[in-house]
């Protein structure tokens, strides 16, 4: 097992491994998301207060979850690259950033659309919304800093420090509704005797969250393949791969 993980850190081995795994994850994510959408949009009943407007939860909550998960992937990989100087770890961090920023933007947009009928406005400087917006700025800052230096290693180290420091914002996002009195609803109990949602509502939500995780993993692998090729473009194995002498 340890030998396999050691081989996985090799860019050529990882590139070929990702090339085989990514399509499977992509098709699985499509099927799971379609199943979740069918359950959430057609099978689940309207909410007793929000009516059919609550159904945006099936995109908003998975997007917000992936936005935080992607940042932790990025920060963890950045720390590994900074401490152990693993080239592939920096590539993982760089590949995760644009995807994380996209999911964060989607979470903010869907949250605003959901907030308009519930709060009467698209945006308030609520603790949860503000910390999620800061997360988007952290992603954009990481991307900008990573490409701000001619020396790629310098950019990797500088952006890794920002990613690690910015990780403190993730628990703030998660616990903001508990720490401050905000407009954003508190944490919802999805299942159990105190469940605030019936199974017909929370099961599609869990399916959507799993589908979004598969989607993130699939596109992360494809982006990582591109990142590896860019970083290894002067090596013999990349020249062999693209058929250049």
pLDDT for 180: 66
Q: How far apart are CA 91 and CA 74, in angstroms?
A: 10
pLDDT band at residue 224 using 50, 70 and 90 as cut-offs: very high
Residue 193 confidence (pLDDT): 54
With b meaning 16 or more CB within 10 Å and e meaning fewer, what string describes 121-142? Answer: eeebebbbbbbbebbbebbebb
What mean pLDDT is predicted for residues 4-30? 88
Identify the band that residue 119 occupies on the pLDDT scale cut at 50, 70 and 90. Answer: confident
Confidence bin at 54 (pLDDT 50/70/90): confident
244 has a pLDDT exceeding 80: no
Distance CA 86, CA 91 (A): 9
Mean pLDDT of the chain: 89
How far from the centroid of its chain's Cα atoms is residue 186's Cα? 22
Q: Is the pLDDT of residue 190 over 70?
A: no
Q: By the 8 A CB rule, do 160 and 78 touch?
A: yes
pLDDT mean over 157-166: 97
Cβ pair 67, 74 in contact under 8 A:
no
Q: pLDDT band for position 198 (50/70/90)?
A: confident
| Joined tokens for residue 239 | 């020249």
Q: How far is residue 118's CA from residue 182's CA, in Å, rounded to a whole number? A: 14
CB 101 within 8 A of CB 143: yes
List, in sequence order, every residue forming a beta bridge with 63; answer none if it has no partner. none
pLDDT band at residue 50 under the 50/70/90 scheme:
confident
Lowest-pLDDT choice from 33-47, 114-128, 181-195: 181-195
**How many Å apart are CA 79 and CA 141, to the nearest integer?**
17
Do 25 and 217 touch, CB atoms closer than 8 A?
yes
Which two three-digit tokens encode residue 93?
């961090």
């Amino acid at each position: 097992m340890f030998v396999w993980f050691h081989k996985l850190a090799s860019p050529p081995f990882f590139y070929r491994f990702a090339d085989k795994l990514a399509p499977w994850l992509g098709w699985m994510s499509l099927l799971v998301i379609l199943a979740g959408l069918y359950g959430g949009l057609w099978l689940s009943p309207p909410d007793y207060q929000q009516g059919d407007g609550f159904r945006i939860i099936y995109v908003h909550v998975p997007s917000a979850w992936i936005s935080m998960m992607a940042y932790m992937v990025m920060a963890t990989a950045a720390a590994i690259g900074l401490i152990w100087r693993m080239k592939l770890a920096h590539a993982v961090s760089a590949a995760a950033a644009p995807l994380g920023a996209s999911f964060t933007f989607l979470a903010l947009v869907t949250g605003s659309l959901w907030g308009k009928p519930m709060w009467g406005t698209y945006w308030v400087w609520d603790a949860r919304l503000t910390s999620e917006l800061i997360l988007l700025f952290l992603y954009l800052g990481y991307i900008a800093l990573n490409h701000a230096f001619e020396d790629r290693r310098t950019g990797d180290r500088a952006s890794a420090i920002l990613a690690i420091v910015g990780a403190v914002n993730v628990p703030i996002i998660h616990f903001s509704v508990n720490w401050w009195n905000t407009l954003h609803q508190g944490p919802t109990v999805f299942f159990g005797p105190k469940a605030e949602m019936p199974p017909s509502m929370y099961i599609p939500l869990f399916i959507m969250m799993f589908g979004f995780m598969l989607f993130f993993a699939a596109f992360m692998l494809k982006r990582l393949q591109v990142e590896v090729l860019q970083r290894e473009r002067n090596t013999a194995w990349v020249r062999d791969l693209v058929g250049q002498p």
